[in-house]
Amino acid sequence: MSYKPNKPPALRPGDTVGVVATSAAVEREFLERGVGVLASLGFRVKVSAHALDRTGIFAGADHDRARELNAFFADPGVKAIFGARGGYGCGRMLPLIDFAAIARAPKIFLGFSDATFLLNALVDRAATVAFHGPMVAMDFAGGLTARALDHLTRLLSGEALHFELEAREALRPGSAEGELVGGCLSVLVATLATPFAPRFDGRILFLEDTGEKAYRIDRMLVQLKQAGVFDRVAGIVFGAIRPVEGSAQERVRIAEFVAEQTAGLSCPVLFGIEAGHGTENLTLPLGLRAKIDTRCRLIFSEPAVS
């Protein structure tokens, strides 16, 4: 099955960015701080009416969160949609999202972590590029580096006609090309055997995570491997995998497990690009064609927006 993404329209200064809470409950202080950063970048900001709702651990009921996301995609005045925060809950509302309507009028959606559920569903069900990157009440509120902010604005405005990210090491050197999919490892594994699992064949798989013990990382990598995912992808690129409580011993074990579970693969494997938890969180366009080269780089050679 061929895949050709619809690129969402570029985001310009003065455009309205909608902010939605798709997952865990959001703290007002962090949301307001992040909204202030967006405003300082020259965007108008429209926060969804239920962004500060709380239903148990979630930012409101599933149907309310889904309805607001659908409404922002349908609103012609909202030019891009940024997630408020991760946590847990995005996957619960996937059956309630109108992907067919989104496919007819795609727009930028930006998020990561728990939003991995939605990002890959947008790529495959709405055939649109989706953006793995900072969230408003997390990264924007906590402070992004100047490089991360510049990269984000250039990517979403269409000014980035070509860009590349360098990995710290090549666990298996080589070259490959394919559309980029993936995101948070634990979330991605949770999609397996569901209708919302990404298509992996011939694609480059990006993986990152945070706060997981080494044995859990190994278990999830084993699951992907035994499910045949690693044999189907064109290449694998790891961001950071930050251990629980920052343990140095766990960090070493994670690195050993990653090397062990990717050993002997026929595809190239890179480790340590600055995307995801515990990094500068440089934005990645999922669904866009990328290339792994022999110099340890992930390369994009076309704009991610129209």
Cβ(43)–Cβ(15) below 8 Å: yes
**How does DSSP classify residue 287?**
T
Which of 23, 113, 132, 212 is flagged as catalytic?
113
pLDDT over 90 percentage in the chain: 95
Report the SS3 class of residue 245: helix
Radius of gyration of the chain (CA): 18
Cβ(300)–Cβ(3) below 8 Å: no
Cβ(217)–Cβ(258) below 8 Å: yes
Residue 143 binned pLDDT confidence (cut-offs 50, 70, 90): confident
Cα separation of 244 and 252, whole Å?
12
Q: Is the pLDDT of residue 1 over 80?
A: no
Q: Is the pLDDT of residue 3 over 90?
A: no
- Bridge partners of residue 84, in order along the sequence: none
Question: Which has the closest alpha carbon to 132: 279, 281, 290, 15?
Answer: 281
Residue-wise pLDDT for 78-117, tens only, equals: 999 999 999 999 999 999 999 999 999 999 999 999 999 9
48 has catalytic annotation: no
Question: Which has the closest alpha carbon to 100: 128, 64, 79, 120?
Answer: 128
Residue-wise pLDDT for 43-55, tens only, equals: 999 999 999 999 9
Within 8 A by CB and 6+ apart from 61, the residues are: 53, 55
Burial 107-119 (b: 16+ CB within 10 A, else e): bbbbbbbbbbbbb
- Domains of the chain in sequence order: 16-157 (3.40.50.10740), 163-300 (3.50.30.60)
Within 8 A by CB and 6+ apart from 150, the residues are: none
Q: What is the pLDDT of residue 245?
A: 80
63 has catalytic annotation: no
Q: What is the pLDDT of residue 212?
A: 93
Q: What is the pLDDT of residue 53?
A: 95
Residue-wise pLDDT for 72-83, tens only, equals: 999 999 999 999
Question: Which has the closest alpha carbon to 136: 219, 294, 290, 23?
Answer: 23
Residue-wise pLDDT for 149-192, tens only, equals: 999 999 999 999 999 999 999 999 999 999 999 999 999 999 99
Element (H, E) at 270: strand 269-271
Question: Which has the closest alpha carbon to 288: 273, 269, 306?
Answer: 306
Which of 23, 151, 274, 277 is flagged as catalytic?
277
Residue whose tokens read 């990382």: 217
Read off the tokens for 259: 């090397």
**pLDDT, averaged across the chain:** 96
Instruction: Tell me the C-alpha to C-alpha distance, in Å, between residue 137 and each of 19, 21, 29, 31, 213.
Output: 10, 9, 8, 4, 25
Q: What is the pLDDT of residue 232?
A: 98
Q: Is the pLDDT of residue 142 over 90?
A: no
- Provide the CB-side half-sphere exposure for 38 (13 A, CA): 33
Which of 68, 179, 186, 208 is flagged as catalytic?
208
Cβ(135)–Cβ(85) below 8 Å: yes
113 has catalytic annotation: yes
Report the SS3 class of residue 280: coil
pTM: 0.96
Report the SS3 class of residue 268: coil
Number of residues in the chain: 306
Q: Is the pLDDT of residue 2 over 80?
A: no
Cβ(53)–Cβ(59) below 8 Å: yes
Read off the tokens for 41: 């970048």
Question: Which has the closest alpha carbon to 25: 138, 132, 112, 143?
Answer: 138
